[in-house]
Structure 1
Amino acid sequence: MPSKKKTKIVATLGPATSKREVLKDMIDAGVDVFRINFSHANYDDVKERINIIRELNEELETNISILADLQGPKLRVGVMAGEVVVSPGDEITFVTGKPFEGNSEKVYMNYTAFPKDVKAGERILLDDGKLIFEVVETNGENEVRAKVVQGGPLKSKKGVNLPNTNISLPALTEKDIKDAIFAISQNVDWIALSFVRFSQDLIDLQNIIKEHSEHKIPIIAKIEKPEAVENIDKIVAYCDGLMVARGDLGVEVPAQEVPLIQKQLVLRAKKARIPVIIATQMMETMITSLTPTRAEVNDVANSVMDGADAVMLSGETSVGNYPVQVIQKMSSILQSVEGSELIHVPHDPPHIRTKRYITKSVCYHAAIMANEIKAKAISTLTNSGYTAFQISAWRPSAHILVFTSNRRILTQLNLLWGVKAFYYDRFVSTDETIEDVNSIACKKGFLDVGDMLISLAAMPIKDKGMVNTLRVTEIETCAF
C-alpha cells in the first residue's frame, strides 16, 4: 500500500546518516527529501551520499529528493583563550582583521565590514541570543566597543546575529558560490539560500544556476531575517519555495513573534502556490531520547494545520541517536493530523488572467470537485511540473498522482504536499493515455473498483501543451 501521509519530511544528512542501511530505513519510515547542509559538508562525502540515495531510488522505486542548503553569511566570534564569562555592565571590544585568541576585554569578529555597518545603540546577539551586547561606539575601521546587557559564558566560534544592523554582506558568500556550483554539478533537485533579505539575493543565485546548468533548479528562500519578512512579496516573486528557518529568525526577532510570522509566511506561500517548509527544533528532544515532548508533537501537528508542505529535521537526523525512529514518530503525527476537518485551507479561485489562467482554473476546479465527489485521486500529465504545484496548493483530500516523461522533475516534485510522481512516456491518444495512467494508479494501490478519479490532460496529448481538459471517471476494473 502507498504511504498515506501527504505532508513531506525533510531530513538533514550527517554523521548519523552515513550508512546505506540507515538511509534505506529512513526512506521506508517516510523520508521524502534529504537535505545537505553545506555549513558542514565535505564534497567527497556529499557525492557518496547522493550516489547512495539515487541507487536506493532505483532499487526501491522511490523519488527521494535532494535539497542543497547553502550556509549564507555566517558571522562568528573567534577562538577564546580559556573560559571567559561576561557580566552585565562589562565592556568588551570586537576586533576585525587578523584572527587572535579572545579574552574578557577583546574578541575577534570574522565580519570585516562590521565596524562600518554597525551604529551606536544597535544590539549584538551571540550564541543564539544567550548573550546580548549594545554597541557603545565604533571607530568605523576595525574596532567596535560594546557593553554587556545579558551576560554568561563567552564561548569560541559562536554565531553572531545583528537584528538592528543593515548588513552589507551579500547573501551569497564566496563559499556559497563554490558550494552552489558543486551542488549544480551534482544535479540536486532544490537549492536553499540562507539569510535572504532582498529579491536580488535570489536573482544572483538564479544567474549562477543558469550559467552552470541547462536545467532550472528551483530555489527555496530561507526566511530568517526581519528584512525578509518585510520584503516577503518581492522575495516570493523570485523563489520557488519558502523555508521558515525558526532558529535564526527566533534570535533576530523576539521569539514570541515567530509563531504568527510562521502562520503569515505559510499563508503567503499558499497564495503564491509555492511549497513552504517549517524548520528548526521540531523534534529536538529525539536527538538523545526515543520520546518527543508533548510540546514538540504539538509543534509538528500545528505546522501541518497551518498548511505546511513539509516539516524539517536537522540535528535529529544529522547527529541524533535515533534517525529512523524520529522519522517514524513524525510520520505517525502527520498521518493522525492531516485528515482533520479542523484544517481550513483558503480556497480563493485564481483571478489574475495570465497566459496560464486556464491551467490554474482547471487545477483549482479539479481540487474543489475532487472534494465534492470524494474522488480518490487526481491524475495529471505534466512536462514542467506546473500543474503539480497548482493542485498541491489547493490541498484536495484526493491523492495527487503526477505522470511525466521529464525525469528531472520526478524527484523535484517529491517536496510538494500530497504529490506522488511517476515516470510515463507513452503519449498516444487521450483515451489510451488515461487508461494507462488508471492502471498504474491501480497497480500502485491508489485506486480500486468503484473509486472516482479526476484526470487532467492537455489536448492534443502529443503536443504536451498546457492542461486544458478535466475528465471524471469511475473505475470499473482494476486489471493490470
Structure 2
Amino acid sequence: SISLPSLTEKDKRDLEYILTIPSINWIALSFVRSAKDVKDLEKIVKAAGHQAKIMSKIEKPEAIKQIDKIIKASNGIMVARGDLGIEVPIEQLPNLQKEIIRKCRQRARPVIVATHMMDSMITNPIPSRAEVTDVANAVLDGADAVMLSGETSVGHHPVKVVEAMNRIIDEAEKGYIVAREKRPKPSPKSRTFLSDAICRNAAKMAEEVKAKAILGVTSSGYTAFKVSSFRPDAKIYIFSDNAHLLSTLNLVWGVHCFYYDKFTTTDETIYDLAEILKQNGLVQKGDVIINTGSMPLKKRHRTNMMKITVID
C-alpha cells in the first residue's frame, strides 16, 4: 500500500479555498492516522479564524490503533467502511463499527456510518434485506447519521433511496431503547464531570417525568453534543446567538436549533425559550420541559443548572 500524508499539497490548496467560505460547517479529513493529523488541520482552521469543525474519516489500520486519541482530538467521526474494509480483515468491520460508535458516544462526538449502506439501490428500486438490517443496526448502535454515497451521486433511484433509508431509520428508532440502555456514565476525573452529570440526568429525568423537551442554551455547542449523546426520549431544543454553530449542530442526533440572543436573567430566558416553543407549536399548556444552562447566564460558564418547568 502507498502511505500518503493526511493533508496532501492538493488538500492544502483546497483547504485554503474552503476557508474563504464562512458558511462551511464541517471539514472531513481523509486517511487520518493519528491525533496529530487532526491537530495539524485544526491549527490551520483556527489560524484562518474559521469556525468549521473537523470530521475525521476512519479508513486506516493505524487510525484503529489510535482511535481513542483521534476521537478526543476530533469534533466528529466518520466510519468510512469502504476503505476501512479493504485495509482490515472484512469480518472485523462490524465489531469495529460498533466499538467506534460506543467510544464516540462516550466522548459526545457525533458519528456517521458511511459507504455501501444501500448499494444495491444504485440500480434496483428497493434495498436488499441485508441492507435494511445494516442501516437499522447502525441506528440501534447509536450512530448520529447514516450516509449515502454512490446511491445518490450516480444511482438510478436517488429519491427512492433517500425515502427508503428514512423509513428504515424511523422504524429502527422506535426500538431505540437499545441505545438508551448503553448511556455512558460521566467520568469523575473529567474536568467537565459536573456539567456532564447534569446533561445525563436531564436525559434520565426526561423519561421519569415524561418531559416533552430538553432545552439548552449554549455558546460552544457542548451542551447539545453532550445531551444528544445520552439519547433522551424527548426533543432536544438548543438556543444560541452563534448562527454558524446552529447550522453545525444540524448533524447531531435529535438536535433542533433556534437563534436566540436576548440573554437577560435566567428566569426571563427560561420564560422566553418556552414562549418560542409555544409559538412554533412545539409545546403546549401542561407539557413538561427541562431547562439546562449555566448561571449566571452572561458569564458563559459550563452547564451548572437544571430546572423542570410546566408550560402555562
CA contact (8 A) 1:375 1:454 kept: yes
Q: Does residue 281 of structure 1 match 2:119?
A: no
CA contact (8 A) 1:362 1:469 kept: yes
- Partner residue in 2 for 1:299: 134
For 1:471, the aligned partner's letter is: K
- Distance across 2 between alignment mates of 1:423 and 1:342: 31
Give the C-alpha shift of residue 462 in structure 1: 2.9
Deviations along 1:283-335, one digit per CA (max 9) or x if unpaired, are 12222332111111111100000110110011122222332322222111111
Give the C-alpha shift of residue 216 in structure 1: 3.4
Q: Pick the aligned partner of 1:441 from 241, 262, 277.
A: 277
- Distance across 2 between alignment mates of 1:475 and 1:234: 43
CA contact (8 A) 2:200 2:230 kept: yes
- Partner residue in 2 for 1:372: 208
Once the two structures are superposed, the pairs formed by residues 253-268 of structure 1 within 5 Å of their partners are: 253-268=88-103
Relative to its length, the structure with more strand (as a share) is: 1
For 2:254, the aligned partner's letter is: G
Once the two structures are superposed, the pairs formed by residues 137-176 of structure 1 within 5 Å of their partners are: 162=1, 167=3, 169-176=4-11
Relative to its length, the structure with more helix (as a share) is: 2
- Distance across 2 between alignment mates of 1:461 and 1:359: 15
For 1:312, the aligned partner's letter is: M
For 1:287, the aligned partner's letter is: I
Give the C-alpha shift of residue 452 in structure 1: 1.1
- Distance across 1 between alignment mates of 2:139 and 2:199: 22
- Partner residue in 2 for 1:323: 158
For 1:330, the aligned partner's letter is: M
Larger Rg: 1
* SS of 1:172 mapped into structure 2: coil
The runs of 5 or more residues in structure 2 that have no matched partner are none
Q: Pick the aligned partner of 2:243 from 407, 411, 414.
A: 407
The runs of 5 or more residues in structure 1 that have no matched partner are 1-161
Compute the TM-score of the two structures, normalised by the length of structure 1: 0.62
Give the C-alpha shift of residue 174 in structure 1: 0.7
- Distance across 1 between alignment mates of 2:206 and 2:136: 24
* SS of 1:375 mapped into structure 2: coil
- Distance across 1 between alignment mates of 2:229 and 2:311: 26
CA contact (8 A) 2:105 2:184 kept: no
- Distance across 2 between alignment mates of 1:228 and 1:252: 11
Q: Which sits farther off after the overlay, 345-354 or 245-254? A: 345-354
Q: Which protein, 1 or 2, shows the higher relative CO under an 8 Å CA cutoff with sep ≥ 6?
A: 1
- Distance across 2 between alignment mates of 1:215 and 1:380: 24
CA contact (8 A) 2:56 2:76 kept: yes
- Partner residue in 1 for 2:59: 224
Give the C-alpha shift of residue 221 in structure 1: 1.0
For 2:163, the aligned partner's letter is: Q
CA contact (8 A) 2:184 2:230 kept: no
Deviations along 1:160-217, one digit per CA (max 9) or x if unpaired, are xx2xx7x3x21110111111222221131011111111112112211221222x1332
For 1:239, the aligned partner's letter is: S
Deviations along 1:322-366, one digit per CA (max 9) or x if unpaired, are 323222221111111113155134224312444433221211111
Q: CA RMSD in A?
A: 1.6
- Partner residue in 1 for 2:29: 193
* SS of 2:179 mapped into structure 1: coil
Using a 3 Å threshold, how does the CA distance of structure 1 residues 320 and 307 change in structure 2: closer, same or farther?
same
Give the C-alpha shift of residue 253 in structure 1: 1.1
Q: Pick the aligned partner of 2:42 from 189, 202, 206.
A: 206
For 1:338, the aligned partner's letter is: E
CA contact (8 A) 2:249 2:255 kept: yes
Give the C-alpha shift of residue 421 in structure 1: 0.8
Q: Pick the aligned partner of 2:289 from 453, 458, 462.
A: 453
- Identity in percent: 47
Deviations along 1:239-286, one digit per CA (max 9) or x if unpaired, are 111111000111111211111110111111111110110000111222
For 2:200, the aligned partner's letter is: Y
